[in-house]
Amino acid sequence: MRTNANDPVDAVLAVGLKDLWYPMCPSSFVAERPVSLRRLGRKFVLWREASGVLHALEDHCPHRGAPLSLGIALGDRIACGYHGVQVRADGVVMSVPGSPGCKLEGAKATRSYHVREAAGAIFLYNSSVDITDPPPLNLPTELTDDVHSHFLCYTEWKGDYRYVLDNVMDPMHGTFLHKQSHSMAEGDSTAAFRVRETDTGFVFEKEGQRGVNFDWTEWADTGLHWMRLEIPYPKTGGPGGNFIIIGSYTPISENVSAVFHWRCRKVDGWQRDTWRFLYQNRLEARHWAVLEQDRAILEMMEPDANQREMLYQHDMGIVRLRRHLRNLAKAQLEAGAEKAA
């Protein structure tokens, strides 16, 4: 999704902004055996100690660049499979078996990353340089408080992650694309939208319509970029009010995205258990069908579709979000230039 192949701002956005938390994968993807994940313009290796403690390094051996993920995890370090060089989770080389005492030993030679686990996912701080302490991971309240219950839905879609952002910042597609879905048959097919500022971002919302269909999207930056929306459940969904979706999206490669949706509901006690039972038994499949409608459209969009657009009022949120992200990318470029000067 390049507006201009030589645009450095786009190049920054294509691999994801730096110095932010990003969801990487569901927690269950990583065990003691090292896993390689291509994300955010590079490859990472993630593994766990037997105690469950997670680690992440760039998946690149400082000796000759073999993937560390093909090596053997030894607690807090990995022994590269190629020549046995051992790299600790902080990026320091602990041993060079082929040449003991060589200069590489003791050197901080591999990029290391901070990881956290929350809400069923692994998050990584995409720092521009190695740092000792990352900022806190601030998730939206639906994923951390006791009054909401949630399930993570993780998918990988073909297409730039910014098309996924555009799709979520476009509430009006619910009325058309998801017309036949179990939860979005209501609401006017024309609407006026407005932008409302919040402490952490903005809300793009229909004027005079709330709780009818997919009526608004919130964009938030809490050190993690995430989006929030609500969709009214049909009566069969029982007590608990609207269905809340938290979304966060991470580039895998130029044309593949890691798509995280947490499906949340404000439910407690028997209502919570009933929702969780129904979700596992049948609702997940219905929500999946809706998400597949989005994927079918997004994956068929040409990578340069955004070069020939005729936007109208419903697309104001998209325009706003793109401008916001470009400004962040520009600031990142300028900060980088200052450091270099």
Partner 1 sequence: MMQELYLNPHQARRRQPTAYEDLLGDSIERAYAAGVHDLAGLVAHLNRTGPNCPAGGVWTEDSYRAEIARLAAEC
Q: Choose the one of partner 1, Fe ion, ligand FES, none that binds residue 37, judging by a C-beta under 5 to 8 angstroms depending on kind.
A: none
Site pattern 271..310 for Fe ion (x: CB under 5 A): -----------------------x----------------
Phi and psi torsions of 165, nearest 5°: -60, -45
What is the rounded distance in angstroms from the CA atom of residue 57 to the CA atom of residue 168? 31
Site pattern 239..278 for Fe ion (x: CB under 5 A): ----------------------------------------
- Residues near ligand FES (CB under 6 A): 61, 63-64, 66, 80, 82-85
Helical H segments across the chain, by residue range: 8-14, 161-168, 173-177, 269-278, 284-300, 316-340
Q: How far is the CB of 27 from partner 1 (least distance, A)?
A: 12
Is the CB of 28 or the CB of 313 nearer to partner 1? 28
- Determine if residue 40 is left, alpha or beta; phi over 0 gives left, psi from -120 to 50 gives alpha, anything else beta: left
Is the CB of 26 or the CB of 303 nearer to partner 1? 26
23 strand-pairing partners: 123
DSSP sequence for 28-84: GG--SS-EEEEETTEEEEEEE-TT--EEEEES--TTT---GGGSEEETTEEE-TTT-
Phi and psi torsions of 168, nearest 5°: -75, -30
Report the chain's terminal Cα–Cα distance, integer Å. Answer: 30
Q: How far is the CB of 268 from Fe ion (least distance, A)?
A: 28
Is the CB of 58 or the CB of 294 nearer to Fe ion? 294
Interaxial angle between packed helices 284-300 and 161-168, expressed in degrees from 0 to 180 and rounded to the nearest 10: 120
CA angle (60, 164, 313) in 5-degree steps: 145
What is the rounded distance in angstroms from the CA atom of residue 267 to the CA atom of residue 265? 6
Q: How far is the CB of 266 from Fe ion (least distance, A)?
A: 22
186 burial (CB, 10 Å; 0-12 / 13-18 / 19+) is middle
Cα dist. 174→47, 178, 322 in Å? 39, 5, 20
Is the CB of 82 or the CB of 154 nearer to ligand FES? 82
Q: Counting contacts by CB under 8 A, is residue 22 touching partner 1? A: no
Q: Choose the one of ligand FES, Fe ion, partner 1, none that binds residue 294, judging by a C-beta under 5 to 8 angstroms depending on kind.
A: Fe ion
Is the CB of 63 or the CB of 162 nearer to ligand FES? 63
Q: Choose the one of ligand FES, Fe ion, partner 1, none that binds residue 66, judging by a C-beta under 5 to 8 angstroms depending on kind.
A: ligand FES
Is the CB of 71 or the CB of 174 nearer to ligand FES? 71
Site pattern 280..319 for partner 1 (x: CB under 8 A): xxx-xx--x-------------------------------
Q: Counting contacts by CB under 8 A, is residue 131 touching partner 1? A: no
Q: Counting contacts by CB under 8 A, is residue 158 touching partner 1? A: yes
Q: How far is the CB of 93 from ligand FES (least distance, A)?
A: 10
Instruction: Candidates 188, 207, 273, 334: give the one binding partner 1 (CB under 8 A).
Output: 273
Cα dist. 20→23, 69, 115, 124, 252 in Å? 10, 24, 12, 8, 16
Q: Counting contacts by CB under 8 A, is residue 270 touching partner 1? A: yes
User: Which residues in this chain contact Fe ion in the complex, by CB under 5 A?
Assistant: 294
